[in-house]
Amino acid sequence: MTVVETWTARTACLLQQAMRMTNEAFAEHLGISERTISRWHANPEMVHRAETQQILDMAHRKAEEDVQRRFALLLRPPAPRVEAQALRVAIAVVVRADSVLLVCRRGDGSIRWQFPAGMVKPGGDPATVAVQETHGETGVHCTVREQLGERVHPVTGVVASYFLADYLAGEPANRDPLENVDVAWVPLPALTRFIPADQIFPPVLTALEATA
């Protein structure tokens, strides 16, 4: 049986809840006034006097087994709230001279060009993911120069972190044929022929204009 060291108005009301009694019935069960029960509900932190402690001890002790089980469950602290983490992707804007690296993805019955990207697992470093996913998708090695910012992607709804990256080595190849159709270096002046300007994160366009 659960032992209550000190009865407060809150724990007394939990016992009432476990007994599934109205204020009137609980007051009659304890031999006190219904007004007192209402006061307990209004002041849950109130600590009862010694004689009330004894009355509640007795009521608890004499309660049926199922009531005592319900009361023990009600006394348990609430489980810690787990906040859902938004899906996050890391996007690499890799430049080499006057070109930028793009991958052509398949999906939803269509194909579309975009920058290399990968999902960031909880606790993962987006910059590291951007570099690793670029190599995994295209075979190109790069290094992050700077973060360009992040946004909730207007199409996918995921949190997208953008990184400007410099080319180091490797020739582009489609290393993920299940997801991608092609990989290519695209001249910067031709970028908006592959990705409409209104779909490109504005800081990315600004950074690429400064690079050109």
Q: What is the pLDDT of residues 53-95, one digit of tens each?
A: 999 999 999 999 999 999 998 988 776 665 556 789 999 999 9
**What's domain 88-211's architecture?**
Alpha-Beta Complex (3.90)
Closest by Cα among 92, 103, 130 to 208: 92
Kindly state the average pLDDT of the residues 107-136.
Answer: 88
pLDDT at 208: 92
* pLDDT at residue 1 is higher than 70: no
* pLDDT at position 114: 93
Q: Look at residue 81 and give its three-state secondary structure.
A: coil
Q: What is the mean pLDDT of residues 100-115?
A: 83
> CA–CA separation, 139 vs 174, rounded Å?
8
Q: Write down the residue that tokens 């400064």 correspond to.
A: 210
* Residue-range domain boundaries for the chain: 9-75, 88-211
If residue 67 lies in a helix (H) or strand (E), which one and from where to where?
Answer: helix 65-75
Sequence letter at residue 138: T
Does the model's pTM come out above 0.75? Answer: no
Count of CB atoms within 10 A of residue 66's CB? 9
Tell which residue, 85, 92, 82, has the closest CA to residue 146: 92
Phi (first) and psi of residue 64, to 5 degrees: -60, 160
* Distances from the Cα of 46 to the Cα of 36, 57, 76, 174, angstroms: 12, 16, 19, 69
